[in-house]
């Protein structure tokens, strides 16, 4: 029997264990039979989670309404949810991928009518909550949010359509795809690369019809596209820019907007900027949230430190931003670029206490953002699927790879980070060897790349390695290299267990002080710092263990198939 229609026809209330709302659904089957069942809002939330569908539920409201204990709040809440839940049900039944899903059929069957024994505070009538009960509800919901399943996201640049057409993506690997980039222009509207909107349409259609619930968010800006942000965010153009963002969401049926401004209050790639940038960004987020409503994603790509304030220092309170935003996407990469003394591109932490950039690591970023009032449950950890190639004869990662004598690194990693020492070949626990340091060699030139001054995240890597000799990476000296290009060059090869090992004269090293793999070939004067299945899984596990929202990668097209993405998903427990 096929279910042809399901809609809420009225609501009723229950009294145990606390007054709550039940929505009465009328379910119609293909033979014309109708039945009625009762469901609570929390049961819809559970169904949505099980299906992982692209539909949108009316938002959770308990934290918004609990300080207004009046009947009119109840009426407004119930009306909003009735309309939203009816739209959600209709979208499920119209989907050829979901209308016969066992979870949906079970949900709409008579045997699953609501039972008061399974209860959520979101089902409570707000007017029945005391102030104390509301605070208890807030604490419980905050804990639940932190314990929720982490999100897996990736940036999909418009140029990726050359090698990975949108319709060929395995959407089961991704909860969110951030489509890069549209850019702000001098008039406060959006500019697009040639063919970008066509690719975006295909991406959205493919994602939303995949049956995996993958959401598509438009990323605006990028390293080379941030020139007009300061002007677009100013009071004179802000409303125009907000309208342009809202129009894009509605026109393309987007799931949200990501602001990749590199960087407010900073020059970035030589961009105009003012001391008011951070304040203007908050005003923009506030206005955008008001226009988009609570169900759309609003995120921003950020560095390991909070935005620069009017005094030229990182903001110490970003809680107001967090209230408007869904996620802050921490770009924990480009910390150390290429040089004769290479360092880690994306350190997990300053695990030996010897880093000359202690503020730039995943561990530091989490601490810095949460201390400034941004909840860990809204922070996404950025993971690079690329590295750097240095012209160097070094065999260790200088300036960060020398733990002080007697430092118990294995104990620190286990107790503080919950992570074992790593052998890059086997993944087995290891003690930390103390690498030798050639005093004076390369000490005059440090390869540090301050993410606020000179880094080039979110750019395209253009190199053809097909004509180079096996293992020859000289064309990349001083530049980024995609992980799949390291493999294509022959410096790494994939083993039968899905991990990667050295090849063509390279030696594989591992810096336990930053949790970074690297390759070196002294005869070729080449060092490659990068991330692999082990280091990415470690960082993903770190994000999960610390209650972060999840992880995202730059960028999807740099993976070797989905090998790195699978390692990240595994680290997040997905």
pLDDT in tens, 116-165: 445 566 776 655 555 455 545 444 444 344 446 899 999 999 999 999 99
Long-range contacts of 133-141 (CB under 8 A, 24+ apart): 134/62, 134/66, 134/67, 137/62, 137/63, 137/66, 138/63, 138/66, 141/60, 141/62, 141/63
Q: Which residue has the higher pLDDT, 535 or 440?
A: 535
**58 confidence band (pLDDT: 50, 70, 90):** confident
**What is the residue whose two structure tokens read 């750019």?**
459
Determine the average pLDDT of the residues in 30-49: 88
CA 4 – CA 27 distance, rounded (Å): 8
pLDDT in tens, 446-462: 333 444 333 456 767 66
* pLDDT (0 to 100) of residue 500: 95
Q: Tell whether the model's pLDDT for residue 304 goes beyond 60.
A: yes
Q: What percent of the chain is predicted at pLDDT more than 70?
A: 77
437's enclosing H/E stretch is: none
pLDDT in tens, 378-397: 999 999 999 999 999 999 88
Q: Tell whether the model's pLDDT for residue 412 goes beyond 50.
A: no
CA 543 – CA 571 distance, rounded (Å): 9
All domains of the chain, ordered by start, with CATH? 3-146 (3.30.1520.10)
pLDDT in tens, 278-293: 999 999 999 999 999 9
Q: What is the dihedral of CA 93, 94, 96, 101, to 10 degrees?
A: -10
Phi/psi at 310 (5° precision): -65, -20
pLDDT in tens, 171-184: 999 999 999 999 99
Determine the average pLDDT of the residues in 5-18: 82
**222 confidence band (pLDDT: 50, 70, 90):** very high
**63 confidence band (pLDDT: 50, 70, 90):** very low
Q: Which residue has the higher pLDDT, 205 or 81?
A: 205
Burial code (b: 16+ CB inside 10 Å, e: under 16) for 42-69 equals bbbebbbeebebbbbbbebbbeebbeeb
Bridge partner residues of 234 (DSSP): none
* pLDDT (0 to 100) of residue 91: 83
* pLDDT (0 to 100) of residue 426: 44
Q: Tell whether the model's pLDDT for residue 4 goes beyond 60.
A: yes
Tokens, residue 552? 């995202």
Chain-centroid distance, C-alpha 116: 36
CA distances from 481 to 137, 182, 457 (A): 48, 24, 12
Bridge partner residues of 373 (DSSP): none
CA 265 – CA 452 distance, rounded (Å): 10
């Amino acid at each position: 029997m096929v279910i042809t229609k399901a809609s809420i026809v009225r609501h009723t209330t229950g009294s145990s264990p606390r007054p709550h709302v039940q929505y009465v659904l009328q379910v119609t089957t293909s033979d014309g039979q109708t039945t009625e069942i009762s469901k609570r809002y929390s049961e819809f939330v559970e169904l949505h989670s099980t299906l992982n569908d692209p539909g949108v539920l009316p938002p959770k409201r308990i934290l918004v309404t609990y300080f207004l204990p009046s009947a009119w709040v109840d009426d407004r809440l119930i009306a909003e949810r009735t309309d939203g839940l009816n739209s959600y049900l209709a979208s499920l039944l119209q989907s050829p991928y979901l209308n016969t899903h066992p979870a949906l059929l079970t949900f709409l069957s008579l045997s699953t009518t609501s039972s008061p024994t399974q209860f959520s505070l979101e089902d409570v009538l707000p007017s029945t909550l005391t102030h104390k009960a509301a605070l208890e509800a807030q604490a419980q919901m905050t804990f639940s949010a932190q314990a929720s399943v982490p999100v897996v996201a990736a940036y999909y640049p418009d140029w990726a359509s050359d090698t990975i057409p949108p319709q060929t993506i395995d959407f089961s690997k991704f909860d969110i795809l951030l489509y890069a980039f549209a850019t702000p222009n001098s008039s406060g509207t959006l500019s697009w690369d040639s063919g970008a909107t066509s690719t975006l349409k295909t991406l959205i259609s493919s994602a939303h019809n995949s049956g995996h619930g993958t959401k598509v968010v438009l990323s605006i800006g990028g390293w080379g596209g941030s020139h007009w942000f300061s002007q677009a965010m100013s009071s004179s153009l802000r409303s125009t820019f907000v309208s342009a963002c809202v129009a894009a969401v509605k026109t393309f049926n987007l799931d949200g907007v990501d602001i990749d401004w590199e960087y407010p209050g900073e020059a970035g790639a030589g961009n105009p900027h003012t001391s008011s940038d951070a304040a203007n960004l908050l005003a923009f987020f506030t206005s955008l949230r008001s226009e988009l409503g609570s169900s759309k994603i609003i995120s921003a790509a950020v560095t390991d430190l909070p935005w620069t304030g009017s005094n030229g220092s990182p903001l110490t309170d970003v809680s107001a931003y967090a209230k408007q935003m869904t996620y802050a996407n921490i770009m924990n990469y480009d910390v150390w670029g290429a040089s004769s003394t290479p360092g880690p591109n994306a350190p997990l932490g300053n695990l030996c206490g010897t880093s000359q950039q202690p503020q730039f690591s995943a561990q530091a970023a989490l601490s810095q953002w949460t201390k400034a009032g941004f909840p860990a449950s809204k922070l996404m950890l950025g993971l690079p699927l690329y590295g750097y190639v240095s012209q160097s004869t070094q065999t260790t990662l200088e300036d960060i790879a020398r733990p002080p004598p007697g430092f118990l690194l294995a104990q620190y990693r286990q107790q503080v980070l919950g992570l074992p020492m790593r052998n890059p070949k086997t993944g087995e626990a290891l003690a930390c060897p103390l690498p030798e340091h050639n005093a004076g060699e390369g000490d005059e030139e440090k390869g540090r790349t301050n993410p606020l001054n000179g880094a080039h995240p979110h750019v395209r890597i253009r190199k053809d390695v097909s004509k180079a000799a096996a293992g020859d990476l000289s064309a990349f000296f001083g530049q980024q290299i995609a992980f799949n290009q390291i493999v294509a060059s022959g410096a790494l090869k994939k083993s039968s267990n899905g991990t990667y090992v050295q090849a063509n004269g390279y030696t594989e090293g591992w810096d336990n002080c930053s949790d970074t793999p690297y390759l070196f070939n002294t005869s070729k004067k080449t060092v490659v710092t990068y991330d692999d299945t082990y280091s990415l899984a470690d960082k993903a596990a770190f994000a999960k263990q610390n209650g972060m929202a999840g992880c995202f990668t730059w960028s999807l097209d740099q993976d070797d198939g989905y090998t790195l993405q699978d390692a990240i998903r595994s680290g997040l427990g997905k």
